[in-house]
Amino acid sequence: MTSALKTITIKRTEANDPDFPYLVAMLNRELHERYGELQLVYDTYNHISNLDTVVIAYVNDIPSGCGCFKKFDVNTVEVKRMFVKPGERKIGLATSILNELEVWAREDGFSGVVLETGSKQNEAIAFYKRQGYEIIPNYGPYAGMETSVCFGKKL
């Protein structure tokens, strides 16, 4: 039995790249399945227009994962919309996407990253911890939300 070779490509782009809303729609469906009506609250914090710091991962030229960041404060960015298609998980795409976002943020002069994930996303929580992120107090719109877990990392 032979396994197909997977070629992974990482691309920096913008929110108007058609592959980004395609992947974000898949992410949104998965989150709505997991969180139900509660996800409607979170949706208000996840607008993807006007972002010029988007990373898309391709497997054999098929869009398979994404992430982006936006300015949080003068020194910090917030990572948003991290997602890998279920069939492409566990091959390093999320690590590649997050690493590219961190490099890009450093290139743009930022020295820290924050992000939020849901308390029911144990795989994401474990992933961010493996990547050197530490749990921080919930910030901004996530303050007081028991279903949010916030992370931070120095670059």
pLDDT bucket at 152, cuts 50 / 70 / 90: very high
Domain coordinates of the chain in residue numbers? 8-154
In the predicted model, is pLDDT for residue 143 greater than 60? yes
> How far is the C-alpha of 90 from the C-alpha of 78, rounded, in Å?
24
> How far is the C-alpha of 53 from the C-alpha of 14, rounded, in Å?
6
pLDDT per residue over 61-89, tens digit each? 999 999 999 999 999 999 999 999 999 99
Q: Domain 8-154 classified CATH 3.40.630.30?
A: yes
